[in-house]
A and B are shown apart, each in its own frame.
Chain A
Amino acid sequence: MPKLTIDGMEVEVEAGTSVLQACEQLGIEVPRFCYHERLSVAANCRMCLVEMERSPKPIASCSMPCADGMVIRTNTEQAQKARKGVMELILINHPLDCPICDQGGECDLQDQAVAYGYDRSRYAEEKRSVQDKDFGPLINAEMTRCIHCTRCVRFCDEIAGVAVLGAVGRGTHTEISTYVERAITSELSGNLADVCPVGALTSKPYRFKARPWELRKTETVDVLDAVGSNIRVDARGGEVLRVLPRLNEDVNEEWISDKTRFACDGLKRQRLDRPYVRRNGKLEPVSWDEALDAVVARLQGLDGARIAGLAGDLVDAEAMIALKDLLLSLGSPHLDCRQDGARYDVSERVGYLFNTTIAGIEQADVIVLVGTNPRLEAPLVNARIRKRYREGGLKVGVIGPSVELGYVYEHLGSDAGVLAAIAEGSHPLAATLKAASRPMIILGAGALVREDGPAVQAVAREIAARYDLVRDGWNGFNVLHLAAARVGALDLGFLPQVGGRDTRGILDGAKAGDIEVVYLLGADEIDASRLGNAFVIYQGHHGDRGAHRADVVLPGAAYTEKNGTYVNTEGRVQQARMAVFPAGEAREDWKILRALSERLGRRLPYDNLGQIRDRLVAVNPLFATKGDVQAAPWRPFGVSGALLEEPFQPAVDNFYMTDPISRASLTMAKCTDAFVPSREGKTGTHG
């Protein structure tokens, strides 16, 4: 461990630490543009120059490894002069367009020019200008502002796994470009706007919308996939203007997917901002009293066995427990949260969680993906797998459709038969799994949404048992969910009760007339035509499939508009916070159910958020944990059965439209046009 002196302070650092990192450990700020802790070191901006004793020139601290006895000075005249010189050179070709630049106010170049640069320019020649590029509907490129730090090039190469950007040309003619005109086809491309230290790459949908100091920032979590990315919602007035990632090493590091980032314009469109009741075949706007009365009138005196409830993909745990409590008090056993129709054994928590955890992927040495395309289903899980892949020594096998994932994998087959062969030990992968020290299997929705879902789950468990996927401090059995609400719902037991019907049963019952009232709590991914003549109550925030079929619409709150609890696919309990108020007359979802229960004469016993959260904890103590993962004990689960011969189908065809919010988003529609090859067939998590 080298020991060095920085600004008179001695510090001992890990071997391989750069001088810049050592400075950071001491809390010394070193300006930089090209250095980014999650990307490879390029050392081309030269902004991080510091003085090193016995070196004739200042050194680039980002690329200089610490050595024993080094004496570094960051605050000398030489270092300061070097920075000023570099800053002056960088600014030579940088336009003075801060007043019209979206990065203004949150720009590294702006800040560092003030902190480390000269207060005036000596450059009187012509500045260069660069033709702007079209990088697609998400990223706005204003390449004259580029300072060629190549962070974007390295991000595309290393994190996103799509080598499309490069530094083309040379010298003063260098341009960051795709060379051939094309959009950046990555589900993580929005992060380019974050890694760019200047205003060259910015968010296209957010362009000219606001200045950072005008925005109200709310730290919350994302619900558009089951990863539960930590985000910051920036709003002005009642409008969500943008979504940015928040650092959480265990979940999303500092990245978010494009859907998470850019679907927020969907929060303004297609909103249910007042209650509706269907009269003469048409939904008519009504008051809350009339809407609730219409529900009460239909439910009063109805046998509980004729009522059913379905919870959607974006629903918070508070709303689900309220609906569950209400339905049970009405005597209905028919409730399900798996609107995709998935049937898997949920008796054990370990059987439906991503047990390895997302950060745990970094320790894996063999990963078997079954019926899942993590690139579309959970881009950040895929980014983790790629991160692990880049370290070397990772073997990935795929059972299911052969797709581009951004890393090399072995395609083992397309159907469940391969799984059975592995479980029997007759498959070539058996030896690999046996030799692995940290093996993982990931079951995706494509594998579990079928008739033989429970059998697939059981075979996977067999594999887990046979190859010791679960060992000391390691659980390699994983289910990758698609819906943010799913694990929370399963933890709360929002499932068919004794004698109850599951999603398919409910839909069949509605069609046959056995189920007379269906309560859709944000459930939009069902086939509404199968609801028959049932009286449909839709509670949710978007006028999507559910609301179109509804007889009564109760406007609820979207995830940015309520304080809700969500459990991600790892079983991590996280809380979303209210960034803006619900649209129009809409209300937080559990409050709607609480009000309805009162009118039905079955008052739910919670009056505020604290009480309903106590109720959550009472139902499942796991809800008392916040932010971290409780390992689920490894117990038997699964129902063995016959495996279907047909190949696994992709669960997500169009990454950009999987839920009511992203379907309402114009940006996501543009992405669909630009990136999704075929628009035919089903979209999203359509079961």
Chain B
Amino acid sequence: MPEGSEPDVRTGKGILRVLTCGSVDDGKSTLIGRLLLETGQVFRDQLEQAADESRRRGGRDADVDLALLLDGLQAEREQGITVDVAYRRFATGRRSFILADAPGHEQFTRNMATGASTADLAVVLVDARKGVVTQTRRHCNILSLVGVPRLLLAVNKMDLVGWSEAIHQAIADDFRAYADRFGFEGVVCIPLSACIGDNVALPSSSMPWYRGPTVLEALEAEPGRTESEAVAFRMPVQRVCRPNSGFRGLAGTVAAGRVRPGDKVRVFPADEVATVARIVTFDGDLEEAKRGDATTLVLAEDVDASRGDLIADHASPPQESDQFACRLIWLDRAALVPERQYLMRIGTGTAIAQVTKLKHRINVDSLEHVSASMLGLNEIGSCNIMLDRRVAFDPYREVRETGGFILIDRYTLATVGAGMIDFSLWRASNLTRHTLAVDKRTRAVQKNQTACVLWFTGLSGAGKSTMANAVERQLFADGRHSYVLDGDNVRFGLNRDLGFTEADRAENIRRFAEVAKLFVDAGLIVLVSAISPFRAERRMAREMMEPGEFIEVFVDAPIEVCEARDMKGLYRKARRGEIKNFTGIDSPYEIPEHAEITLKTAESDPDTLASRIIEYLRSRESTAPET
């Protein structure tokens, strides 16, 4: 037969990948069985085999259970259930189809999402007697999450509702109203009876009011997954082809867009610019390769590209990041553990991934956000992921092939999750990127604490250093990481050039605050012990920290008590006029107006007061939002 007469050559349409969603109760098996039968896909011996099996299980002779044609595994046939996704080919005179049949029981989300990941169109079944039910909405929700662009609503069992136009219309309206929320590219609604055959392959004579296509006509007419001319070129490098020293080709399948010799491209992650010299195939060089083509590119420049790299359009490059927000479908019986390491496969590359934050779970029936600390089998969550290196990607809604990934358990090697990238968490400058891998939060998380500054202020002799030391001892015993910046000690070194004038006091506090800020960035709990008499300087220090990081502790003791203690003999010297600008004598102390904690050191012992601070820190950590 001459090739030109082949229908798919004439119509120029490729294979359409179709996912069917629905349960046996909706008549899904009957519909698929009928599609296969009426397009001549079921061979006589296969039908006889199904009939044998039907009879063996006590079915009626004339009534072959069409589901037996579909259930492929012995366990399924014996238990009358379908355990796994099945893929079947069928063809009409005009077009070829790959049908992914996802069973509708407890493994439902996992199976349906698997089938949806490659589908161009989904057939959603409803029973005309029941209309749009929770399960129908769940189908829509998953299809929209995974990004299936087009839907065909099969309103089945029309024979059982008297072929009623009004009923069909009501269901179709109901369905469209729901589906419209998601912006599917196309929704077709067809009233049918899979059992009798109306509107499956042949038009129905019982529903003269319906003038639309049959299921087969609708499938044949589907445009398939179209790609606009504007989509930029992407090709993950699958393998380097180097048969001899004179040839170096980068083999891969074009994931998006198109490429021609002479095009400028960029190779990630190196981000080197190169020019496409040749597009090599066994059947000769190509002038153009486009989405889905398996090709080998030869670049004019000697660029060090290897498996896992992404070749992309020069003018519209992908994003690069090592942290992003995504939606994740969990596929494994062992639940997702945040902070645990998994392998991520994205494009042809692999990275080590960690879910840093599970923001919420998505209820597939209602799309409501549910707070969650874990993600179990068949659950979908919204989370942040961190990688051990930067990868090039596109948001999933823009390019499926460079925005979808799978997670693999590092020990069992099972495929445990499938994810869709929404956006990078770092869209800012290189400076931000530079501090990504280990930042304040990760350092603090490593130390099992939340970094902060405890700023002890008060008169000389009020007990600031005593309190800071008492608190640090308890922190240390608790396994926390801390450091005390003491007024006197810092003045011996860093601040030895400063005196006690108002200007020098202000500079003294500024330096304290800057050092404290660095230590907080290191993930430490910093205890500053300094008289810091002026509100303005304390406010300056507070504003240098992030909100919530600065904890002002007013160490409050009456000046008489302090003067009586006078452990360093300073009050006596000040009274004698030997020290100028002494706080409380000839320099004011501005009492804190909004201290987080006030400690009356004259009324309790230091360890009791220190416990109050520890208690404060604990409750703060348990309620603080993660940053």
Q: Do chains A and B interact in one complex?
A: no
- Taking Cβ atoms with an 8 Å cutoff, the residues of B that contact A are none
